[in-house]
Amino acid sequence: MMWRRAAGSLARSPLALPLGAMLGVAVVDALTGPEYNLLPVYAAGPAIAAGRGPIRNVVAMGGVAVLLCLLFAAKADRFGELRMYVALVAIAYVTLAAVYAAWVRLRTERRLVDVQEVARTLEDVLFVPLSPVIGPVRLGASYVSASRATRVGGDLYKAVPSPYGVRLVIADVQGKGLGTVRCAAVVLAAFREAGPEFADLAEVGLRIEAALNRSTDGQRFVTGILAQIDPAGQFLAFNHGHPAPLLLTAGGGITLIEPDEPVPPFGLTELAGSGDPLDSVTRLTLNPGDRLFFYTDGLSEARNGDGLFYPVGKRAGPLLSRGSPEEALRLVRADVAAFTGVPPDDDSALLLVEFAPEAARRGRSEPQE
């Protein structure tokens, strides 16, 4: 039993492949006889060791390669011949090159670990988990980053309670890279500060706009939806050039909530002129059980193998009424993966909001600790 554990540990070790390669060369060398010169081929051991594990493994495999070279040179009566010294020089050079390659790999891996730590910290700051119930609404949220190195990108969402109802934002920063993450952080910080404070929802949008103008280079814009749901179910929203949300009524209806006149994206208001944003507000009344689905274009622009966009209303709509908001979003994510068949190539944020005034009543009736 112990030898099986040892064999399993060796097989998983980074030394298994280079040792196996050199053992294979040794077997071939033993079978072919002295007429073949396989001594330089033992350099495969340290070369392979450079791909995994620490530098000391490369050096150790170089030492093993030298020992095997000397052993089989003596076995074939080639000890002291020129070909043996040529093989030893080849092994030494390959080992040195493998040490350098392993050093570069390890430095890159350390940088990647640092990037991932930064990404985790950013995710903790930018995407604090939403409470499943805020005031009269139940919420579910989902975020997927297309970046392999980081788990955050330029899409964002947030919901906060206020004296005027639940305030929420979902947005998508134009562009890629760390600059988009910075813009996302600016938008979220401005919303967290202004969202619970101002009675006028349009003023919250102006504060976000001002924060972007102060804190960014002015070369990016942000599409988004700024919305409010009060305890009576009155919904109002400003659509800043963002994909229209879906309304799923308790009776099973599915409707896109298109604005009559979209507000310019955040960051472009000055270029677009100074019209009255109240002329573009979307208003409707929600009934208990109605759900609103907000998303970024990483969802609506996901393509399948034929180049067709994901049909949000047709495929996601029926799934969004199932289970809790979080469960419904998991179903949507699985459906998108089945539709595209490939990993996502763009960030996407999803936010599902259900008007549930009974949740607020239950929250008020629960004893406070």
364 pLDDT above the threshold of 70: no
pLDDT of residue 304: 92
| 120-139 mean pLDDT | 80
| CATH (one of 3.30.1060.10, 3.40.50.720, 3.40.1190.20, 3.60.40.10) for 131-365 | 3.60.40.10
Chain mean pLDDT for the chain: 84
pLDDT tops 50 at residue 103: yes
Given a cut of 90, whether residue 139 has pLDDT beyond it is: yes
Q: What is the pLDDT of residue 333?
A: 95
Q: Does position 95 have pLDDT exceeding 90, yes or no?
A: yes
Which of these ranges, 50-54, 125-129, 148-152, has the smallest mean pLDDT? Answer: 148-152
Distances (CA, A) of 191 to 10, 121, 197, 294: 54, 20, 10, 17
Model confidence band, residue 220 (pLDDT cutoffs 50, 70, 90): confident
Share of the chain above pLDDT 70, in %: 83
pLDDT 10s digits, 240-279: 989 999 999 988 899 999 887 778 888 887 665 555 555 5
Say what the pLDDT of residue 311 is: 93
Domain ranges in the chain? 2-119, 131-365
Instruction: Tokens for 226, please give them.
Output: 């700024």
Q: What pTM does this model have?
A: 0.70
Would you state the pLDDT for residue 366? 46
**Confidence band (pLDDT; 50, 70, 90) for 292?**
very high
What are the residues whose beta carbons fall under 8 Å from the beta carbon of 92, sequence distance 6 or more?
A: 62, 66
The tokens of 246 are what?
A: 């879906």
Strand order in the sheet with 348-355: 133-134, 137-144, 348-355, 291-295, 246-248, 254-256
Per-residue model confidence (pLDDT) at position 264: 86
Task: Map tokens 């640092």 to a residue.
Answer: 114
pLDDT at position 194 is 94
Conformation bin of residue 271: beta by default, left when phi > 0, alpha when psi is -120 to 50: alpha
Strand partners, 239: 225
* Mean pLDDT confidence for 303-319: 92
